[in-house]
Structure 1
């Protein structure tokens, strides 16, 4: 059955928990839904947004004009033999990590505190900081994808992986259906999932709705100024972690205005700014 497009209102479009209305919303339950929905969007002149767990996206307006396509594929973790596993993009990160830990497999345990789906982690090539140098792409063999033309399988070398980068970010109509990963056997000391969760509680500000680190490139002086200006507002920057936006309002306008101010101040100062957060306007 083709995906149904309908109106959707709620606070579950992003982990910032702001309230939005999408006049065109559909759930992707089959890989074949993607080219069908992209065709409809083209016919109606709509922009498109793929939505996973909402852990790295913010909609700046209450009313969303684009066609929002929510990843609702069946959650599959399939052992293909040897060290190879096929994982659907809808699988929650923590679910995969717990499964690999049970099986005694190496994995990207540094992402245990990331509340994302595997598809989002693939798209932004999530991982640790540059120092530790661990990325999701380290374990990828190939990715099953879909676009307006249909379904395709892409080799790792075709996906332009880099630090927090992949071809999915450059091609907004390319959707990750799933991937084949190589998770070698490994003797796991301690509990890397619990250790990462403890690290997150100590170093991150989890008191209010947030989407993790805000920027990969920024001027700290500008962020400190913005934090002071928004100190008493329902959206702002954390006092515990500077590069960390948080939100306490259903109205997205507070957070949207702060993000716009950050952009303006960096432009006026001639300073480099690169958001890790995907901002949909």
Structure 2
């Protein structure tokens, strides 16, 4: 969900979603943010790939959404009958998720590297969706985040991580990307616009300004602006860091001409040293 660099480096970087949390729903269409939701809805280009993994789970399997944001994926998984735990590094996002999620979902504010010390259960499936891992920051922090996810997997469990295709984005270098339609909720109409500032090299972070154009009852127009930075990685770098964290990659929906992709992985016998 493009959720700010709050996780493994949370002590050193700001929680970008502290302010964005209450407006975050505007990024998604109604069917994703409204009950019962859509499994994999925050990673819509990989939805079928994600659904195929979910379909293989036994009924009532234990699932962790460790980048839950405002709770959209966790809501859909709970509705499908899974035993869902939802965590997010942003306390304000967790507060928004609490408003949407049913009472049976355990919900906690937790950084990725703190998952093993915070959660007592182990999970058949761990999800890190919404382009969240890009906010881990450094190489070292990203490996620490993935290691935390591995340690809470049950034996034979699966991790699903998704990402923007950063190589494609840096190649196309868009400047302004607007939502495909105006959304209306509670009498307010909104258009979501991403304004990108993309550097020349992929190893340099880029900045997106999420701008919401809001039309209130009576025709009054306002806007709200939320700057968020990203530290991109390539699919090869993701797979290498998964290996460092003790995973073996088992599948991918990556295509060089698609804007997003997801990767599945299981715990390997030992991390890459």
TM-score, normalised via structure 2 length? 0.26
Larger Rg: 1
